[in-house]
Structure 1
Amino acid sequence: MPGINQIKLPIATEIDAFEAKFKASMQSDAPLLNRITHYIVKSKGKQMRPMFVFFAAKLCGGIVESTHRGAALVELLHTATLVHDDVVDNAYERRGFFSINALWKNKIAVLVGDFLLARGLLLSVNNNEFALLKIVSEAVQQMSEGELLQIEKVRRMDISEELYFDVIRQKTASLIASCCACGAASAGADEQTIEKMRLFGEKVGIAFQIKDDTFDFGTDDVGKPLGIDIKEKKVTLPLIYALNSVDKAERKRVINLVKNHQDDPKKIQAIIDFVNSKQGVHYANQKMLEYQQQAFDVLYTFEESEARIGLEQLVRYTTERKK
C-alpha cells in the first residue's frame, strides 16, 4: 500500500501549483488575517481533497485552470467549516496544531471562517464557476444538516445503523463526493459522468468515515486506548453493532455508561472492551470493505489510465491507513 506522498506523484506538479494558488487566494489587506491564513496553510493536512479533484479531472478529460479553482473552492469552504467547528466544539487542537480559536480566540476565529467562506464565493463568482459553486455549496449544506442530525440524535442515543449511514453520508461523504464531481465538471464532463464521479466519491467518503470510527476502539502509537468519540458521546458503527447484539438490559447498561462516563478512563475502557468483545470493529471493517468495493465498481467503468490507478490508490489509502 503506497503512502499518501507516493500517490500524488502523477499529479505532483499540479498539486504544487495548487498550493501556491490556494495560498494566494487567501491574501488580504489585513495583516492579522494574513498571519492567520499563513498559519492555516502551514498546518494543512495531506491534501487528499485536492488530489481527488485533480485525479477526477484527469480521468474525465484533463486538468485545466478551472480544476485549480474547483480544488481551491473546496479547500476554502471546507477550511471555513473546520474553523467554525473548532469554535462550536471548544476544540483547541487540530492535526497536532493549535486551532485558530486556541491561538486567536473565538471572535477572530469566527471572522476568519467567514472570510474564507467569502473568498470561496468570490473565487467562483468572479470566474463564472457557477456549476462548481453549486456542487460545493450543496455539500456544505449537507455537512451542516448531517452535523445537526447527529447532535439531535446523540442526545437521545437512538441512532440506528440506517441513521448512522445517513449522518456520515451527509457529514463526511458529501465533501469527498463534491471533490470528485468538481474535478469531473471542471474537465467538461457530461452530467452523467459528473454524477458517476459524485457517487464514487460518496462511497469512498463513507468507507473513509467508517475507518475513522474504528480507530476509537484500537490503540494509539504507545498502546493507549483512544476513545475520543466515546468521550464526546458519539454513537459510531462499531458501538451500534455491539449494542444491537445484546439484550435490552445490557444495552441499557452500556448506553448509560456512554452517557455518564464523566471521562472516567475505567468506564471508557469498559465501553471499548464491550465493543471489541462483540466484534463491533470487525463488523465495521466488513462494511467499510463493502463500500470500498462499491467505489471500485464505479471507478472500473472508466478505462484504465494513470488517473484511474491514482484514484484506486487513494481509495486503498483511505481504508488501509493507520490513523
Structure 2
Amino acid sequence: MNLKEIIQPIQKELLEFERIFRRTMFSQVKLLNIISHYILRQKGKRIRPTLVLLSAKLVGEINEATYHAATLAELLHTATLIHDDVVDESDMRRGFPSINAIWGNKVAVLMGDFFLAQGLLISLRHKEYDFLHITSNAVKRMSEGELLEIQSSRSNLIDEEVYFRIISDKTASLISACCELGAASATDDEFVRVKLKNYGENIGVAFQLRDDLLDYTGDSSITGKPVGADIKDGKITLPLIYALKNSSRKEARRVIKIIKNNLTKKDISYVIDFVKSYGGIDYTLKVAEEYLDRAKGFIFDFPDSPARGSLLKLADFVLERVS
C-alpha cells in the first residue's frame, strides 16, 4: 500500500491545493519567506489535506471551500509541528534541522503563530465560520493533550486511560477535524459530518499508536529519528504501559528508574527488549487494528466510489507505514 495509490482519485485537486497552500505561506517579510522556502523543501506526506479532499469527495463535490479547508488544515498542522519542536527542544524535523535549531525559539514560535493566523484568516475572509469552530476545538484539544502529557509524565501517572486521552487530544483531534472539515465543505448533513469526524478520530488514534510502535521497531534511516527517541525523552507510551503492567513489580520499578535518568544506548536497548518480551508490541498492534476497523465502519455504508476506496486504503496505510 502506498500514498500514490491512495491519492489517485484526487491527484489534480492536490496539485491545486499545493498551489494555494504555497501562496499563503509568504508575506512581505524577507525572513519569513526564507523560512517558508526552507519548510517547503521538507515536503511531508500531505495526509491531512488528502483527508480533507477525500472526505469532501466521499459526500459531495470538491469546491472552493474544500480548498480553503485543506489549506487551513495544513497551515495548522505546520504551525503545530514548529511549536512542538520548541516544546520538545527538538533539533531535527524530517531529516532537516528544525526551525528552532537554526533561527531560535522566538522566531520558531512567531512562524507558527503566523501560519495559524493565515489559516484562520482564510476562513474569516470567506465567512466559513463552521471551519473556525472545528479548528478552534482541535487546537483546544491539542493544547490540553500536550499539557496532560506534561502533567502525567511529571507525576509518573500514565495508565491506558490517561494515555488514550493524551493521544486522542494531541494527534487524533486534528485528523478528525480534517475529515469533518472536508465533509462540512461539501454537505450540510450533520449526520454525515459526524460519521466522517468519527472516522478521522479513530484513524488518528491508530496513527499515533503506529508512531509509538515505530519508536521500538522503526528504522532510523527511514523514520528520520533514532529508535528509542521517545524512551530517551521519558515518554511512556502504550507498548511500555502494557509491558510494565504485565511484568513483575521488581522489573517494572527497574525500568521506570532507567527511563527517568539519562539513558545510554545500552539502557534503551534494555527497555526495547523488555517491551518486546512482555508483549507490548503485539498488544499495541492489536489495539491499532481495532481502531482502524472502527474507522472503516463509519464509512462502510457510503456508496462505493474511488474516494471511499481510498479512505479504506488509508486505514491500511496507517498500519503499514514505516515512517
How would you bin the TM-score normalised by the shorter chain?
over 0.9
1:120 Cα shift?
A: 1.2
Q: Which position in structure 1 is the counterpart of 2:149?
A: 150
Q: Which position in structure 2 is the counterpart of 1:23?
A: 22
Change in Cα spacing, 1:219 to 1:53, as seen in structure 2 (3 Å) is: closer
For residues 208 and 165 of structure 1, the distance between their equivalents in structure 2, rounded to whole angstroms, comes to 12
CA RMSD, aligned part only? 1.5
Q: Which position in structure 1 is the counterpart of 2:267?
A: 267
Give 2:219's aligned amino acid.
D
1:95 Cα shift?
A: 0.8
Q: Which position in structure 2 is the counterpart of 1:218?
A: 217
Q: Which position in structure 2 is the counterpart of 1:251?
A: 252
**1:106-255 pair list within 5 angstroms:** 106-220=105-219, 226-255=227-256
Give 2:67's aligned amino acid.
H
1:192-223 alpha-carbon deviations (Å, 9 max, x no partner): 11111100000001111111111122242679
1:250 Cα shift?
A: 2.2
Change in Cα spacing, 1:222 to 1:179, as seen in structure 2 (3 Å) is: closer
Q: Which position in structure 2 is the counterpart of 1:302?
A: 302
Secondary structure at 2:104's aligned position in 1? Answer: helix
Give 2:185's aligned amino acid.
S
1:32 Cα shift?
A: 1.5
1:5 Cα shift?
A: 2.0
For residues 183 and 107 of structure 1, the distance between their equivalents in structure 2, rounded to whole angstroms, comes to 33
* Long gaps (5+) in structure 1: none
Q: Which position in structure 1 is the counterpart of 2:6?
A: 7
Q: Decide whether the 8 Å contact of 1:217 with 1:225 is kept in 2.
A: no
1:76-119 alpha-carbon deviations (Å, 9 max, x no partner): 12211211121222212111122111222222111111111111
Q: Decide whether the 8 Å contact of 1:23 with 1:38 is kept in 2.
A: no
For residues 242 and 46 of structure 2, the distance between their equivalents in structure 1, rounded to whole angstroms, comes to 32
1:167 Cα shift?
A: 0.7
Q: Decide whether the 8 Å contact of 1:169 with 1:202 is kept in 2.
A: yes
Q: Decide whether the 8 Å contact of 2:163 with 2:238 is kept in 1.
A: yes
**Higher mean displacement: 83-92 or 144-153:** 83-92
Q: Decide whether the 8 Å contact of 2:213 with 2:284 is kept in 1.
A: yes
1:160 Cα shift?
A: 0.7
1:4-33 alpha-carbon deviations (Å, 9 max, x no partner): 122111101000010010011122011211
Secondary structure at 2:266's aligned position in 1? Answer: helix
For residues 176 and 222 of structure 1, the distance between their equivalents in structure 2, rounded to whole angstroms, comes to 26
* Long gaps (5+) in structure 2: none
Give 1:83's aligned amino acid.
I
**Structure 1: 4+ residue segments shifted above 4 A:** 221-225
Q: Decide whether the 8 Å contact of 1:61 with 1:189 is kept in 2.
A: no
Give 2:182's aligned amino acid.
G
1:239 Cα shift?
A: 0.4
Q: Decide whether the 8 Å contact of 2:218 with 2:322 is kept in 1.
A: no
For residues 16 and 5 of structure 2, the distance between their equivalents in structure 1, rounded to whole angstroms, comes to 17
1:268-298 alpha-carbon deviations (Å, 9 max, x no partner): 1111111000011000000010001001111
TM-score (norm 1): 0.96
Q: Which position in structure 2 is the counterpart of 1:318?
A: 318
Give 1:300's aligned amino acid.
F
TM-score (norm 2): 0.96
1:225 Cα shift?
A: 7.4
